[in-house]
Amino acid sequence: MLPASESTSLPCDDELVRRSNILQAIIRLSNEQVSGLNRNELLLRCAEILLKFSSFSGGWIGRHDPETKEITPLAFLQIGADSNDEQKISRKLILLDSTLIKSIQESAESGEPALFTNIDPPVTLPLTPERAIFRSCSIWPLSHHNFVYGVVAVFSEQPDGFPPDELKFLEATVADLSLALYAHDVSVQLQFERDFNTEIIDSIQALMVSITPCGKILRFNAEAEKVTGYREQDVIDSYWVDILLSPENRLHYQNVISRLLKTNAGNLSFRASLRTKKGDLRTIDWHSSIKPDIDQGSVGMVLFGLDITDQLAADRKYDSAVAKWENIFAAIQDPALITTRDGTIIDANHATFTAARKSRDEVIGESVCQILHGGRKKGSVCPLEAQIKSGESRILHTELSGLHGDYLLTVSPLEYSAGSDEATLLVARDMTEEERHKAEALRAAQLASIGELSAGVAHEINNPINGILNYAQMLTDLAQDSQSEEVIGRINTEAKRIASIVRNLLDFSRHRVEEPEPVDGAALLEDCLELVQHQLLKDHIIIERILEQTLPLAFCNRSQMQQVFLNVISNSRYALNEKFPGSHPDKKLHFSISLVHHTNAPYVRFTMTDYGTGIEHHLINRVFDPFFSTKPNGAGTGLGLSISYGLVRDNGGYMRIKSLLDSYTSIIIDLPAAKNRSNEDG
């Protein structure tokens, strides 16, 4: 509530003069701001203007922090007279009473002024040799658009020192000063943006050219000077088309820009050739926009240009190289893939999709092991992926179940520039009949060498084993208690087991002289199944048969092939029981017999497939090696498939294996047809 005034207001004319003087002082202060007054000094100068043209002799000014909401005291100002009886304003940093500070803080937070009269006890401040005593105080926040710059407190020595006229004066003056502070902030921001924009223009790595509505150059930045070879002072007031465009493009783009300026269309992008001062042609991508020129009140154009000459040349070389590579890659008749260092397929040719029987989307992004091998057992390492990671070149003959055949796989690391991702090229060439025969011959030679070694070892072991068996029999006759009989029985059992292994070694190494004969393959297979039918039924194994009609007889040794078939059935039975311990609809053993040709000669093909555990890809090439077994220790000798392979080879046939882990295993045996062999003999 405003107190009753005991003072008289100034005459109207004096009031107008005072307001005029205040506005002139604010204008002078605004002009001084250009020289760079900081915020604290600006607030102090505003407080001085307020006191200088008021009827009060003391005032306090503080700065407001918009983030912390705290008030920082700047100074207490007092108006006095100097020796020449002229007005003088002194500044002192004096701490106010905590009650007043609290009121100042509240005024800053609310944005509303506060008035205190008849202060008891009065405010006493050490301003002069004599202490100054103030009995009234009005607090005014200097704010605009809800932003508080600072707070000014005006003190009066009178108990009721703020009559209505003076309050109106203070209110108007504070509003003017707040507006001046706001204008100062705006001018500082604009100056910052102008400086920032100028810095950007001077440092930008693109051509920047400003032109007038009639097409004359106003500004030419450093990059434009560098590309064109012209200095800014050389091109100012020149027509932009004469400087920035080659002669054949000038008329066209001059008309385009003219229409753009007339229609206020806004933006335009185009590519054009530029002839430099030296006569070189550069290709520039231009981007233009309308620019209002505030100073001249007209509309101009700003052109930004990117010199893409070198980029276009590099792109042409790159596109040419890529096109050649893509043509070569697509023309390769064999499956070809590109993988990352971790084995992820990033590209493949059409032959790959055909061989894998998959679409492009099903191949790209998958692991090379998944596509070429059909996957691997959890926790195991794919040898092909390990080879790719090693970064070494290699050529290997391998079964690729994912591509449904035997292949010569070439692994070739691709050299990239520094910092690029490394990749590997894989080319899988389908094995021809000749190459397959070479591989079979090499394996046969390896087995023959091992067979000779096995024969020697077997003969050396055979004699002491016979001795052990004889002595074990003698000990059996002399045994006097059950414990001794049990120990001697175990010795006898293990010795017989060793003797059985030795016989297998001799069978593996012995040259077989049995004569082949025409054999009905279907009847032979049925005889083998009849021998193991009881075991297969006991294990709940389902038998399936697919036999082609009018098949020729196979020319082979019947007993030897029976041994081979029984060994394959035994391995399949083991794999099915491992995967399906009990009964299961997928616990199947599938047999098929068909006619195929090798180098135009007919062969009878026996295919035996079980849907058991399958074999890991990197082990497939080892299963025919002597003493190698995928079964646990003690569950197999590792000679079964080696002996079988040798028997098939001795009968003039071929034996191969295909497998997919956790899916199936197929043993393929091709035996010469009897008709073909009979013709040769005849």
Tens-digit pLDDT profile for residues 371-389: 888 777 676 778 888 888 8
Q: Which residue has the tokens 């890809």?
A: 617
Question: What are the residues whose beta carbons fall under 8 Å from the beta carbon of 503, sequence distance 6 or more?
Answer: none
The pairing of beta strand 588-598 with beta strand 542-547: parallel
How many angstroms separate the Cα of 395 from the Cα of each of 344, 426, 583?
Answer: 20, 10, 44
Instruction: Tell me the CATH number for domain 12-191.
Output: 3.30.450.40
Give me the CATH topology for the region 517-681. Answer: Heat Shock Protein 90 (3.30.565)
Q: Which two tokens stand for residue 438?
A: 């070479």
The pLDDT assigned to 609 comes to 93
Mean of the per-residue pLDDT values of the chain: 78
601-610: strand order across its sheet: 542-547, 588-598, 601-610, 664-672, 654-660
What is the pLDDT confidence band of residue 230, given thresholds at 50, 70 and 90?
A: very high
Place of tokens 């414990």: 483
Alpha-carbon distances, residue 457 vs 446, 507, 510 (angstroms):
17, 13, 13
Task: Name the residue with higher pLDDT: 169 or 488.
Answer: 169
Count the neighbouring beta carbons within 10 Å of the beta carbon of residue 231.
12
Per CATH, 204-312 and 517-681 having the same topology is answered no
Q: What was the pLDDT predicted at 590? A: 92
Q: 435 phi and psi, to 5 degrees? A: -65, -35
Read off the pLDDT of residues 625-675 as tens digits, 9 standing for 90 and up: 655 555 555 444 445 677 788 888 888 888 888 888 888 889 999 999 986
CATH, domain 204-312, list 3.20.20.10, 3.30.450.20, 3.40.50.300, 3.40.190.10: 3.30.450.20
pLDDT of 636 reads 47
Asked if 579 and 539 touch (Cβ cutoff 8 Å), the reply is: no
Q: What is the predicted pLDDT for the residue at 608?
A: 92
Which pair of tokens denotes residue 548?
Answer: 């082609």
CB 207 within 8 A of CB 235: no
Q: Pick the range with the lowest mean pLDDT from 274-288, 289-303, 313-327.
A: 289-303
Give 479-503 pLDDT, tens digit per residue.
667 777 777 777 777 777 677 666 6
Percent of the chain with pLDDT strictly greater than 90: 5
Tokens of 477: 């006759």
CATH class of 326-431: alpha beta
Q: Band the pLDDT of 294: cuts 50, 70, 90.
A: very low
Please report, to the nearest 10 degrees, the dihedral formed by the alpha carbons of residues 630, 631, 636, 642 taken in order.
Answer: -20
Mean pLDDT of 234-256: 82
Question: Which residue did the predictor score with more confidence, 443 or 552?
Answer: 552
Query: Where residue 677 falls among pLDDT bands split at 50, 70, 90?
Result: very low
pLDDT 10s digits, 140-167: 999 888 888 999 999 888 888 888 888 8
Strand 281-293 vs strand 267-275: parallel, antiparallel, or unpaired? antiparallel
Return the residue matching tokens 């405010």.
123
Q: How far is CA 635 from the centre of its chain?
A: 48
Q: Rounded to an integer, what distance in angstroms lies between the CA atom of residue 20 and that of residue 479?
A: 139
> In the chain, where are the structural domains located?
12-191, 204-312, 326-431, 436-509, 517-681
The bridge status of strand 654-660 relative to strand 601-610 is unpaired
- Measured over the CA atoms of residue 471, residue 476, residue 480 and residue 481, the dihedral's sign is positive
Cα–Cα distance between 651 and 505 in angstroms, integer?
A: 19
Average pLDDT over residues 119-130: 77
Structure tokens that stand for 586 in this block: 């997928």
Q: What angle do CA 544, 547, 553 make, to 5 degrees?
A: 135
User: pLDDT band at 2, cuts 50/70/90?
Assistant: very low
With beta carbons less than 8 A apart as the criterion, state whether 494 and 528 touch: no
Neighbours of 452 (CB within 10 A): 11
Question: Which pLDDT does position 680 carry in this prediction?
Answer: 43
